[in-house]
Structure 1
Amino acid sequence: MALPRKLKNMNLFNDGNSYLGIAKSVTLPSLGRKMESYRGGGMNGPVKADLGFSDDGIQLEWKTGGLDLISLRQFGAIKAAGVPLRFTGFYQQDDTGEDSQVELVVRGRHETIEMGDAQPGEDTEHAMTTTCSYYKLTVDGEEVIEIDLLNFIEKVNGVDMLEKQRAALGF
């Protein structure tokens, strides 16, 4: 029997600024694909064709304690990859002591900033949803997934999934 790797600690960097002690939580992006069912003659059931990424896009949700002026000043960023964020996490298995360093780099812009409740003597937090055009997940120094929607790049486990499509399109 084995125990799973659990997040023991984390940090978030916003445009190079460390949020150590400020970042309260980070919801890492869901990765989704747009799939369409197809069933033709001679098929006993449907098979879903992969049509690329989901229309839901890639979103990072995160919360900070207190007043976050850096994020507020970034609201309305013009460039689709205008806000760089980097999550770092330390994961560990309690049965073996084995650890993993996880890094997620995204670039995008803030879709929503929730200011939270303002009440004297109570905790204050901001909740941000950042819509991302770039995503790169690295575990223990190994690049696992890289997605660059603006530059037509999708790499999974070192395999360039769009290489042949880029060549066919002439770039």
Structure 2
Amino acid sequence: MALPKKLKMMNLFNEGNSYQGQTGEVTIPKIARKFEDWRGGGMNGNIKWDAGLADDISEFTWKLGGIDPLVLSQWGAATVDAIGLRFAGSYQRDDTGETSSLEISLRGRHEEIDFGNQKPGDDTEKTIKTIWSYYKLTIDNIVVVEIDIPNMIEKVNGVDLLEKHRANIGL
């Protein structure tokens, strides 16, 4: 029997500034592809052809306790890669004690800062939705997925899936 690795510790960094003790939850962006139906002549059924990245993958949502002037000063950033965030997680198996690191680095800008309800004596957690244009997922110091939308780079296990396409169009 083997037990899964479970998140034991985590931290979030905003432009290198640690939110240790301030962030309680993050929603890691999903990675998804957009598939479209195709049924050509002579086909007895349809296939789904790969149309690239799904339209709704670029959202990173995170929660932060209290008030943070840094996040507020980043509101209205002009460029798609203005803000750098990094999630660092430490996972552990309870049967062997083995640990693994998961790191997600992204660059983007905040679409929404939701202050939530404000009541003295209650939690004053706010939710930030950051839309990313650059995303890198690393497990145990090995880059597994790296996506740079503006520069047309999409790497999986070190293989750039768009390298030949860039060359084909002169990039």
- TM tier relative to shorter chain: over 0.9
Aligned to 2:78: 78
Counterparts of 2:95 and 2:137, CA distance in 1: 25
- Is 1:19 the counterpart of 2:19 in the alignment? yes
SS in 1 for 2:150: helix
User: What TM-score, normalized by structure 2, do the two folds share?
Assistant: 0.97
Counterparts of 1:91 and 1:57, CA distance in 2: 24
Residue identity in the other structure for 2:5: R
Counterparts of 2:129 and 2:49, CA distance in 1: 30
Aligned to 1:7: 7
Aligned to 2:63: 63
* Pairwise CA distance, 1:44: 3.0
Aligned to 1:123: 123
Structure 1 alignment gaps of length 5 or more? none
Identity in percent: 56
Aligned to 2:97: 97
Counterparts of 1:100 and 1:116, CA distance in 2: 34
CA contact (8 A) 2:8 2:89 kept: yes
Aligned to 2:158: 158
Counterparts of 2:110 and 2:27, CA distance in 1: 14
CA contact (8 A) 2:9 2:89 kept: yes
Counterparts of 2:45 and 2:167, CA distance in 1: 33
Aligned residues: CA RMSD: 0.9
Aligned to 1:139: 139
User: What TM-score, normalized by structure 1, do the two folds share?
Assistant: 0.97
Deviation string, structure 1 residues 70-111 (Cα, Å, up to 9, x no partner) = 111101000100010000000011112111011100000001
Q: Which runs of 4+ in 1 moved over 4 A?
A: none
CA contact (8 A) 2:29 2:57 kept: no
CA contact (8 A) 1:68 1:126 kept: no
CA contact (8 A) 1:106 1:135 kept: yes
Aligned to 2:31: 31
